Each structure stands twice: as structure tokens, then as C-alpha cells.
Structure 1
């Protein structure tokens, strides 16, 4: 897990990047302008910063230069913008930015840039199943919201033989109609997945959020999207 700072004056961008990176297992802090970014950098050490170029108080390139001059550019910085010119991107790279992402940022490019940045910082996690394999790239960076931990348990348990793998696969398929479009089959699995955890945790949203690795607001939105009955066995917490 890495500590990542996201700096962007657009609330929607901050929330979306935070959800994606949290689902990847990272710890994320948010700043909506350069002032908050300075405060966050002074208070904490980050493994990576995602920095918007155009902000209302101080632009991202100027902030990057401040950090470089003050000796605070000790982490990889990925610049983001939907209006930057090539000259701006070159200038940011010359100052010390690791890379540049043009908005709208596709999920695939975001995850790749973050992975490369963390690898450069020497803080990339050991190779493992990643939530990036669950997401499907779309222009709005949406798709399946299940983290990697949502894999079917019987499929990730150690198996000692081909027969064991075959039995596990059959077990995983039981109760699901696989003869339908992928999106419908995935939604069916996700609904069953969340209903299982809700029932097991007695409807406690706090514990379900912890078990599934989703932030509570994100979890509520996902459950409503899937049509999960929140009234049944629901309780506070």
C-alpha cells in the first residue's frame, strides 16, 4: 500500500481518483488547491502525488517548482491537465515531474502511470492479483467496482491437483447463469456477493465496507445500483 496525494480543484475528479486508488489498496489524501497541497506535503510524506496543472490559486507547475527548490520533491509527481500544451508538459518534466496524464484520464493510463511511479519510488507492492484486472476501461473510468479481494474464495484457495481446480470451478459457477452477457453475469455475481456479506454482518454497513474494501459512500451507491435491498436486515453502523 502506498500513500498518495491527489491535488485537483474538481471535486468529481478528486472523488473518482480517490475511489479507484482506494480500491487498489492505497491510502489517499485529497487537496483541492495548492494551499492545501502545501499543507499536506509539509505534514506528511507521500510515495506519489497526482497534481493538476490548472488550479485557482497557484498552478501545478509553479507548485512543482516550489517543492523542487525547497528540496521537497522527494516523491514521483504525475501531472494532470485537460488544457496543457506540449511546452507545459515539457517544462513540468524538466522540473522533475515523472509523467503527464491528459484529461479525460482513462483508467488504464492512470493505473499504469501510478504503477510506474511507485516502481520508481521503490514502493511498489509485491506482484499480486490487482484490482486493475477487475475494472473495464471506459472514458469515464467506470466499470466493475469490486476490489481484487472480491475474487470467489474457492478459486483462490490453494489447490493440489487438476481435479481440485475443476471442482472449485464448478463450485464457483453454481447458482449463476453464465449463458448471458458478461455485464449481466457480473452484476448478478456482485449482487450475490454483497447480499452475502450484508447477511453475514447483520446488515452493518461499517463492517461490510471493511470486509469488501469499499468506502461507505461508494458502497451505498454500489448497492443501490445493483438493486440490493438495504431495508432487509439493515441496522445502523
Structure 2
């Protein structure tokens, strides 16, 4: 598990990246402008930074220069932009940026770049700032521990005499009847289907997407539509 700082002035981008990276098991810190990023870097050293180039207060390239001059560029930095020129990308790379991602960022490119950046960061010396560290509040990843504790490892569907079908769970949970309207029965089955895979893959949306054959964005929309609870408001389990 790594700590990743996402710096972007667009709330939608911050939330999307936070959701994806949290699902991969990382702790994600968010900054909506360069000043917030400065404050975080002054108190802690993230394992990786995803830094937007165009921001209202200070652009990403300028912030990158500041960190380089202050000796704070001891972690891999990946630049992001939807309308940066090649010259800007080259300049950022010369300053010390590890990579450049063009928006909209494809999921596989994002995950590959993050993986490569974290691997590169292992070889870099991590210079801690002199300021006292301030505990950061992590963004919670999906928590399906409670569901995992009660769900069976493998459980085929069972058909009872009254026509109710259960997916191997206790009586009353995720059951549907053949007498139900098709839409209701289908929604109940799909909800049970996705919850089953979330349990098996320990909440990893990447692996669930692979198992179910759905593109990740479509998977998020489907889970929201079905009302599948990812447990984001529950506290994270304490690390042992």
C-alpha cells in the first residue's frame, strides 16, 4: 500500500482518481490547488504524486520547479493535462517529472504509470522535510469485510419447493421468486452476483471488472444503479 497525492483543481478528476487508486489498495490524499499540495509536502513525503499542469493559482510545472529547488522532489511525479503542449511535457520531464498522462486518462495507462512510478520510487532517496509530520486522513477504500465474513467461499444457487431461489446465503437474504416480475428478479440476481464477486476479490474493482467482463466505468454505474453498498462510510480495518 502506497500513499499517493493527487493534485487537481477539478473535483470530478480528484474523486475519480481517488476511487480508482483506493480500490487498488492505496491511501489517497487530495489537493485542489498548488498551495494545498505545498502544505502536504511540507509535512509528509508521499510515495507518488499525480500533478495537474493547469491550475488556477500556480501551475503544475511551476510547483514542480519549486519542489526541485527546495529539495522536495524526492518522490516520483506524474504530470497530467488535457491540453498541454509537447514542449510543456518535455519541460516537466527535464525538471524531474517521471511521466506525463494526457486527459482523459485511460484506466490501463493510469494503473501502468502508477505501478511504474511506485517501482521507480523504491530506488529514490526519500528526503523527509524538517517540519513535524502531521497525520493525514486517508480516503477510505471499499470495505466489504463484514460481507466477506458472512458469505460462503463457494455456494451454488439452491431452489426451494416454493420456487424461491437463494444464492447459498441465509434464509431471507438475496432471494427471488419465479413469480416476481422479470425486472425485479433480474435486479436481485445481478446485485447478488456483483456482491459475490466483490467478496471473492476483496473489494478490488479492477479484478471484479476482469471477472465480470465489464469496463470499469460501466461497472461503477451498474453497482450504483443496483444499490450495491461498497461500505465507503465505514472505518477502515486497523492494520495488524
TM-score, structure 2 normalization: 0.59
Offset at 1:174? 3.8
Q: Deviations over 1:66-119 (max 9, x none)?
A: 000110000000000000000000000000000000000011111000000000
Contact 2:144 2:203 in 1 (8 A): no
Q: Distance in 2 between matches of 1:228 and 1:32?
A: 29
**Dislocated runs of 4+, deviation >4 Å:** 145-153, 184-188, 191-194, 211-214, 221-224
- Residues of 1 paired with 2:152 and 2:64: CA distance? 44
Using CA pairs below 8 Å that are at least 6 residues apart, which structure has the higher relative contact order?
2
Higher helix share: 1
Equivalent position of 2:18 in the other structure: 18
Corresponding residue number in structure 1 for 2:85: 85
Q: In the TM superposition, what is the alpha-carbon distance from 1:21 to its structure 2 partner?
A: 0.7
Q: For structure 2, which runs of at least 5 residues remain unmatched after alignment?
A: 124-140, 159-166, 168-186, 206-220, 236-240
**Residues 46, 186 of structure 1: CA spacing in aligned structure 2 closer, same or farther, 3 A cutoff?**
farther
CA 1:111–1:193: 2 relative to 1, 3 Å:
closer
Q: Give the corresponding residue for 1:38.
A: 38
Number of residues of Structure 1 aligned to a counterpart in Structure 2: 168
Instruction: Report if the CA contact (8 A) 2:53-2:84 is conserved.
Output: yes
Partner of 1:139: none
Task: Confirm whether residue 189 of structure 1 aligns to residue 193 of structure 2.
Answer: yes
Partner of 1:102: 102
Q: CA deviation at 1:212?
A: 5.0
Q: TM-score by structure 1 length?
A: 0.60
Cα RMSD after superposing both structures: 3.8
